[in-house]
Chain A
Amino acid sequence: MPANPKYLTASPWQRAGKITAGILGGYFVTMSLHLAMASWMNHVNVIITSAFTGFIVWGALMVVAFLARSGWKIWLLYAGLTALFSLITWLGKSYNPQFLQ
């Protein structure tokens, strides 16, 4: 009764893409999202909340990566999100007068 292989990823490159996107890409998205929030909101509260939400978001993003049709596209999506959140973090560090206050 193992899962029906016709629905699973056959190509090793695709599979590697999804695994790395889930674990690494998921981690980058999770962390950059939390950093972006911390740079604009009460950073202590965001950091301490991430004790719970960090691993939950990361785990969910791992699952999502495997639902993607293409390993490259999910990497592209995760990289794009990381870039977006990093930009927000950079803006927060540069322009938020309350940064780390």
Chain B
Amino acid sequence: MMEKRSYNIFFDLHTVSGIVISVLLYVIFFAGSFSFFRDEIVNWERNETVTVRKAIDADVDIVLDSIAKKYALFGRDITFRRNYDERRVMVNLSNSKDTTVTQAGDFFYLDTKTFKTTGYEDSYTLGEFLYRLHFFAQIPYPAGYYLSGFTALFFFFAILTGILVHWKKIISNFYTFRPWAKLKTVWTDAHTALGTIGLPFQVVYAVTGAFLMINIVLVAPNVLVLYQGDQQKIYEDLGYEHASHPFENKKLRQVVKVNDLVVDIKKKWRDFDVTEIEINNYGDEGMHITLVGEVPNAAKFTGLGEITYKAATGEIVGEQDPYAPTSYRDGVKNSLYRLHFGDYGGYGLKFISFVLGLLSCFVIISGILIWLEARNKKHIPEKRKRFNNTVGHIYLAICLTLYPVTALSFIVTKLVPRALDPSRQTILYSVFFLSWLALSVFFWWRKNNYLTNKYTLLAGSVLGVLIPVVNGAVTGNWIWLSLAARQSDFFVIDALWLMISLAAFYTLYHLKKPAAMPVLSEDDSEAVLSDFR
């Protein structure tokens, strides 16, 4: 009795939470899958290759000289950061602490090959667009972040209730697959089997994803209760802020070669990649240089290192050896990011993560279909049924059109010449969101889930095959040439789209037009329910 009660409660919770977040979660997983290849997409779009991964690949002193032509640097904090495997690094200039320097600080990207600087919008790419769509950053901050963060939290809730529903039969159901039985059983079997395969992956992404977007709800009580409102202190304790160094307002006599420090540190810490250079109080007696980076994941999973020099004396004032034992704090923190970004295992891990991400999309779709089928019964009032069907049409239209819309955007971004880089963001927004809207409305209007599925798959796979063709025609880097030249970024994107298209063609080939959806009688649905238990 008790068991029946909790089973039904779990079932209801899983259904309700699942159907509420389904569309949002689908977008998150779909865009997130492509985000594993964010940097490859960016390089593919720009037709640029990177020779060095991770580390800032430029002579910092030459870079500083080139920046100094445009900005008076004295008294500023200058940060170089390479977050992505792109040729461009991010440069942040603070306002000068010398009040006579009135020129405001700035943020821009700097091409490490040409030293050309560009603003954020001029550097916009489809890779960046998809990456940001993954956490709804196109919705103004913080609404988009919170929406995606709470979606992740309720996704965890849905996973939890989902496991509880299937707990008793989790093993036997795993081996149950009846694709030629009733339509309903196809969806339930796929939903449970693939949900179980993807379970560890999905739990990790739900929990870490929630943290990345709504960590504020965890941090805020700590700031208020433990730290008496001192935010600076908690972020220093958690290792998110570097210690600050006072400005002395005296010109530094000697010239500091920052690049020598970068070269030297590689001798001290073998294979150390400097990913961030922070210069405090440039050109001042209080100038400090901090080099932040890591050793390759193959050498040590969490090998974060950091070293700070005082420029006036050259002495080391702070040091964290990447080869020394990792603190608990850094281990937890780093594993959280690495697990979510999936960037510690090369292309193999990226590809598996990509597939598991799309598989999660399929779990979501099959969940929506179960929800629909389960409500397609005689005793449900006609009006209610029409409402459910409309919800189903809209949900599936929004989700499934994402595939051709993304493929189309890859073609468009390749056809838009580099000279139009400043308008690329506007172009991508219009193409992506308008075609998504138009297609969603169209398939909603057609009111036929079979049709939605078939034509989105067809359109997506045809456009997908065209992507490597367009790339080859525009850049001359045909897929076999980039393979031969070992230009992995170009090859990976072209090959990825070919593989997706192949999978879609295969699906289309086996897609059968369903007989008119039978309406289940009470007896039937009882039978299906017992199947499911």
**Interface of A with B (CB < 8 Å)?**
1-4, 7-8, 27, 31, 34-35, 38-39, 43-45, 47-52, 54-56, 58-60, 62-63, 66-67, 89, 93, 100
* Beyond A38-B226, A52-B332, 14 additional pairs, beta carbon < 8 A: A2-B11, A2-B15, A3-B11, A4-B4, A7-B4, A7-B5, A47-B218, A47-B219, A47-B222, A51-B332, A52-B336, A59-B157, A59-B160, A63-B13
CA distance A60 to B10 in the complex (A): 12
CA distance A34 to B219 in the complex (A): 11
Residues of A within 8 A of B207 (CB): 52, 55-56
Q: A6 → chain B, closest Cβ, in Å? A: 8
Residues of B within 8 A of A31 (CB): 218, 221
Residues of A within 8 A of B529 (CB): 1
Q: Given known contacts A3-B8, A35-B221, A63-B161, is B332 in contact with A49 (CB within 8 Å)?
A: yes
Across the interface, name the chain A residue whose C-beta is closest to B524.
A1
Residues of B within 8 A of A89 (CB): 225
CA distance A62 to B153 in the complex (A): 11
Q: Are B164 and A63 in contact (CB under 8 A)?
A: yes
CA distance A7 to B332 in the complex (A): 41
19 chain-A/chain-B pairs, Cβ below 8 angstroms: A7-B8, A8-B12, A31-B221, A34-B222, A48-B238, A48-B328, A48-B333, A51-B211, A51-B215, A52-B207, A54-B211, A55-B207, A55-B218, A56-B156, A56-B207, A59-B160, A62-B157, A63-B10, A67-B6
Question: DSSP majority for the B interface?
Answer: helix
Interface centre among B7, B225, B336, B374 (most CB of A within 10 A): B225
Interface residue B217 (Cβ < 8 Å from any Cβ of A): yes
Q: For chain B, residues 214 to 249, give those with C-beta under 8 angstroms from any C-beta of chain A.
A: 215, 217-219, 221-222, 225-227, 234, 237-238
CA distance A51 to B238 in the complex (A): 11
Q: A32 → chain B, closest Cβ, in Å? A: 8
Interface centre among A47, A89, A100 (most CB of B within 10 A): A47
Across the interface, name the chain A residue whose C-beta is closest to B222.
A47
Q: Are B226 and A100 in contact (CB under 8 A)?
A: yes
Q: Are A51 and B226 in contact (CB under 8 A)?
A: no
Q: Given known contacts A2-B12, A4-B8, A63-B13, is B226 in contact with A35 (CB within 8 Å)?
A: yes
Across the interface, name the chain A residue whose C-beta is closest to B165.
A3
Residues of B within 8 A of A39 (CB): 226
Residues of A within 8 A of B525 (CB): 1
Interface residue B9 (Cβ < 8 Å from any Cβ of A): yes
CA distance A44 to B117 in the complex (A): 39
Q: A93 → chain B, closest Cβ, in Å? A: 8
Interface residue B201 (Cβ < 8 Å from any Cβ of A): no
Across the interface, name the chain A residue whose C-beta is closest to B211.
A51
Q: A99 → chain B, closest Cβ, in Å? A: 8
Q: Given known contacts A45-B328, A47-B238, A56-B207, is B218 in contact with A3 (CB within 8 Å)?
A: no
